[in-house]
Amino acid sequence: MSGGSGVIEVDHLTKVFSGRKAVDEISFTVQKGEILGFLGPNGAGKTTTMRILTCYMPATAGTARVAGYDVFEESIEVRRRIGYMPESPPLYPEMTVDSYLHFVAKIKGAPSAQRKSMVDDVMEKCAVSDVRNRIIGKLSKGYKQRVGLAQSLLNNPEVLILDEPTIGLDPKQIFEVRSLIKALAGDHTVILSTHILPEVSMTCNRVVIINNGKVVAMDTPTGLTNQMKGAEKIALSVDGPMSAVVDKLKSVQGVISVKVEGEENGGPTNYTVECNLRTDLRRVLAQEIVSQGWGLLELRGVSMSLEDVFINLVTQE
């Protein structure tokens, strides 16, 4: 897709499960040091894409390269360079946090001389040092999640692939994990999946929105919201008979719905008009209202939150 300089290059990736396309010709590139947010409703194909990138399962068609290596042909090379945190943290409940992390460090090929400092370091980063000698099975969900995250950071991988890393954490921990992920970018390239929208706008440089296995949008979080700013929702304040105003607004082509904000009180009333994607009706609406002799007191485009963009995109078809 691009010139081939990305750390992660996904090219027309397709995965078919018994006749159903879970991932359908997805292509994207992630540059070094970037945090890419993978956004989509449940079952959109996020986890499947991540599993292909981590060499857990092969693709049906298309190619993916991580750090310059093909995930299928050079799987071991790819695995040496990734840290992966699956949806449910892959923990051995009977082990202590300390011995678990040492085990993972070992199978990731960390040199034995550095293993201890490496384990201490990730425990510090993920704030699990205080439970290092506890049995994993007895830990709370939040701790388990962070031990799972700690595991993915071991051996300082070039690429981090995190499948819903903040699930099950309390707000304070979510904040900490997000800052941790932000701090990791630069040295590491991160892909994280989530269906929590603010998470994307807070942590990611770029967003890929997927739905039904297809990429429906790809941009920066602000780009995505700006792209449609003022177009879809328009707030109006009109001094005029309410029902007539509503009827008039509804009759304008491209208007989907008109919502009255507040009560009829004789004075000016606030309306929110929703219109078709990527059409700007501000000029038309203003003309219509003025031509009726009503007072147009206010008219402005309402910028959509990422949430609105998301809902729009995934419910479009």
- In the region spanning residues 66 to 125, those forming contacts with other proteins, defined by CB under 8 A, are 76, 79-80, 82, 84, 86, 88-95, 99, 103-104, 106-109
By C-beta, is 92 or 175 nearer to other proteins? 92
By C-beta, is 108 or 248 nearer to other proteins? 108
- In the region spanning residues 146 to 185, those forming contacts with other proteins, defined by CB under 8 A, are 151
- In the region spanning residues 230 to 249, those forming contacts with other proteins, defined by CB under 8 A, are none
Interface with other proteins, residue 292, by CB under 8 A? no
By C-beta, is 111 or 171 nearer to other proteins? 111
What one-character-per-residue DSSP string does the chain give?
--SS--SEEEEEEEEEETTEEEEEEEEEEE-TT-EEEEE--TTSSHHHHHHHHTTSS--SEEEEEETTEETTTTHHHHHHTEEEE-SS----TTSBHHHHHHHHHHHTT--HHHHHHHHHHHHHHTT-GGGTTSBGGGS-HHHHHHHHHHHHHTT--SEEEEESTTTT--HHHHHHHHHHHHHHBTTBEEEEEES-HHHHHHH-SEEEEEETTEEEEEE-HHHHHHTTTTTSEEEEEEES-HHHHHHHHHHSTTEEEEEEES---SS-EEEEEEE-TT---HHHHHHHHHHTT-EEEEEEEEPPPHHHHHHHHHH--
* Site size with other proteins, rule: CB under 8 A: 28
CB of 24 to other proteins, least distance (A): 19
**Site map (CB under 8 A) of other proteins, residues 31-70, x = contact:** --------------------x--xxxxx------------
CB of 92 to other proteins, least distance (A): 6
CB of 103 to other proteins, least distance (A): 5
Residues in touch with other proteins (CB under 8 A): 51, 54-58, 76, 79-80, 82, 84, 86, 88-95, 99, 103-104, 106-109, 151
